[in-house]
């Protein structure tokens, strides 16, 4: 029972007690009045004026007594009326207090309900705030991670920029130095001699290597910028493999095992020859200096793809270097630039193909290229 209900019951009991007390007081008053009236009548001395006089006096006493009783009755009724009015007023006051108490209880319940809602809303707000805080912390960690990645990428770009400059200076110097040397020899020799003819061939070879280097750099930059459109037509990979072998080893210093099935890739005829030449050249350079250098070149069709595999029997590439095998300016050969393998990777990916490398001491190093197969209508 709450305090308001206890107060209501207290008022009800108090009203009942007041009513009982009023009834007891009224009953006591009536008794006192009745006794007083009887005593007064009994104390009036009788008159001795004869029989008729006695009778009249008796009637007068009775009338006076009746009048006093009537007056007493009227007074009793007046007192009862006043008591009833007082009880009605008390009842109305109690009802008003009970009504006020009910209103107060309803307001208290409403306030309690409102407090419960506020507490629930506060709990939801605290939970949302905790979620927002956790999300902010996660975003902060993610931002820090992204900033770290950006710093690493910027460092790599700066390193590549330095490597690119060093590469250009190194490679162009290597290409130009033979040309200048052969020119100096020609200036000191008879132009019609056989030696001069070999020197002119060396100049041509060095000039062609320089031109090829510049063309590959141009194509790589165009592919990376997206400004180089890829033509789509049938390109015979078996013919490209034979041409690459002749271009890379015209003197036959390396033994080639050619397993060339007829297959045509759907690609750019100006870019795919460079893929085969770089694959073969990389394999030849990897086995050069061995007692019996050999390179295996394989072409085939697997499902809807044209396949080229070039394997050399040289020493295995360290596992730590394999993930960066196709990175530009990262070479597994001493003095290498990594431009050829980077060219292969970018051109093949630009055609929608795939390339990967495997290396072990038992089988050597194998580079596999997968290109879209040209359909019958495209050959």
Residue 364 lies in a domain: yes
* CATH number of domain containing 310: 3.30.565.10
Q: Among residues 159, 178, 210, which one ends one of the domains? A: 210
> What is the number of other CB atoms lying within 10 angstroms of the CB of residue 340?
23
- Could you tell me the end-to-end alpha-carbon distance of the chain, in angstroms, rounded to an integer? 98
In this prediction, residue 159 carries a pLDDT of: 64
What distances in angstroms separate CA 4 from CA 1, 10, 36, 104, 154, one per listed residue?
8, 10, 48, 8, 75
In this prediction, residue 56 carries a pLDDT of: 86
In this prediction, residue 39 carries a pLDDT of: 46
Residue 32 lies in a domain: yes
Do both 179 and 246 map to the same domain?
no
Q: Among residues 63, 87, 121, which one ends one of the domains? A: 121
Do both 48 and 102 map to the same domain?
yes
Is the Cβ–Cβ distance between 284 and 248 less than 8 Å?
yes
- Short-list 220, 298, 299, CA closest to 263: 299
In this prediction, residue 307 carries a pLDDT of: 95
Q: In this structure, what is the dihedral angle of CA atoms 273, 276, 277, 281, given to the nearest 10 degrees?
A: 170
Query: What are 225-236's pLDDT values in tens digits?
Result: 776 788 899 999
Do both 206 and 236 map to the same domain?
no
Range of the structural domain that residue 183 is part of = 145-210
Do both 238 and 305 map to the same domain?
yes
Residue 300 lies in a domain: yes
Could you give phi then psi for residue 264, rounded to 5 degrees?
-125, 135
In this prediction, residue 137 carries a pLDDT of: 85
Residue 134 lies in a domain: no
Query: Which ranges of the chain have pLDDT less than 70?
Result: 1-50, 154, 156-193, 195-213, 216-217, 220, 227, 328-338, 377-379
Residue 199 lies in a domain: yes
Do both 78 and 185 map to the same domain?
no
Do both 80 and 168 map to the same domain?
no
In a 13 Å sphere around the CA of 75, the CA atoms on its Cβ side amount to 12
The position carrying tokens 């009326």 is: 81
- Short-list 343, 309, 338, CA closest to 324: 338
- Short-list 111, 101, 94, 112, CA closest to 13: 94
- Short-list 300, 201, 194, 197, CA closest to 241: 300
In this prediction, residue 182 carries a pLDDT of: 62
- State the pTM of this model: 0.50
Please report the DSSP string for 230-275 in residue order.
Answer: PP-EEEEHHHHHHHHHHHH-TT--SEEEEEE---EEEE-TTTHHHH
* CATH number of domain containing 152: 1.10.287.130
Do both 115 and 157 map to the same domain?
no
Residue 220 lies in a domain: no
Do both 163 and 109 map to the same domain?
no
Do both 185 and 51 map to the same domain?
no
Structural domain count, the chain: 3
Do both 197 and 322 map to the same domain?
no
DSSP symbol at 361: T
DSSP symbol at 356: E
Do both 372 and 236 map to the same domain?
yes
Report the relative pairing of strands 255-260 and 294-302 from DSSP bridges: parallel
CA distance 364 to 280: 14
Residue 226 lies in a domain: no
CA distance 317 to 314: 9
What distances in angstroms separate CA 191 from CA 153, 188, 260, one per listed residue?
54, 9, 43
Do both 204 and 254 map to the same domain?
no
Q: Copy the structure tokens of residue 286.
A: 């990897």
In this prediction, residue 343 carries a pLDDT of: 86
What distances in angstroms separate CA 354 from CA 31, 50, 324, 350, one per listed residue?
125, 159, 16, 9
In this prediction, residue 353 carries a pLDDT of: 94
DSSP symbol at 329: T
Residue 223 lies in a domain: no
In a 13 Å sphere around the CA of 39, the CA atoms on its Cβ side amount to 6
């Amino acid at each position: 029972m709450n305090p308001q209900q206890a107060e209501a019951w207290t008022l009800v009991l108090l009203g009942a007690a007041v009513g009982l007390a009023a009834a007891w007081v009224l009953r006591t008053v009536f008794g006192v009045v009745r006794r007083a009236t009887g005593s007064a009548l009994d104390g009036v001395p009788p008159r001795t004026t004869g029989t008729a006089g006695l009778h009249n006096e008796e009637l007068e006493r009775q009338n006076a007594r009746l009048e006093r009783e009537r007056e007493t009755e009227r007074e009793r009724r007046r007192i009862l009326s006043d008591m009833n009015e007082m009880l009605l007023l008390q009842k109305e006051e109690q009802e008003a207090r009970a009504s006020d108490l009910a209103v107060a209880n309803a307001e208290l319940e409403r306030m309690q309900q409102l407090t419960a809602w506020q507490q629930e809303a506060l709990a939801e707000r605290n939970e949302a705030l905790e979620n927002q805080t956790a999300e902010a912390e996660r975003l902060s960690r993610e931002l820090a991670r992204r900033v770290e990645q950006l710093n690493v990428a910027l460092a790599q770009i700066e390193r590549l920029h330095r490597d690119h400059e060093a590469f250009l200076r190194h490679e162009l110097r290597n290409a130009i130095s033979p040309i200048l040397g052969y020119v100096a020899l020609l200036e000191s020799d008879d132009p019609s001699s056989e030696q001069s003819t070999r020197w002119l061939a060396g100049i041509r070879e060095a000039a062609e290597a320089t031109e090829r280097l510049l063309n590959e750099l141009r194509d790589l930059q165009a592919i990376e910028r997206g400004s180089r459109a890829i033509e789509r037509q049938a390109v015979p990979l078996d013919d490209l493999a034979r041409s690459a072998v002749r271009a890379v080893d015209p003197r036959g210093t390396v033994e080639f095992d050619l397993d060339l099935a007829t297959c045509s890739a759907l690609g750019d005829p100006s870019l795919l020859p460079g893929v085969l030449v770089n694959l073969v050249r990389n394999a030849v350079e990897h086995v050069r200096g061995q007692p019996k250098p050999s390179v295996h070149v394989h072409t085939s069709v697997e499902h809807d793809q044209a396949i080229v595999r070039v394997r050399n029997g040289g020493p295995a590439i360290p596992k730590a270097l394999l993930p960066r095998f196709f990175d530009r300016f990262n070479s597994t050969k001493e003095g290498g630039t990594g431009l050829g393998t980077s060219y292969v990777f970018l051109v093949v990916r630009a055609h929608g193909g795939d390339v990967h490398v495997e290396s072990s001491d038992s089988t050597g190093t194998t580079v596999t290229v997968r290109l879209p197969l040209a359909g019958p209508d495209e050959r």
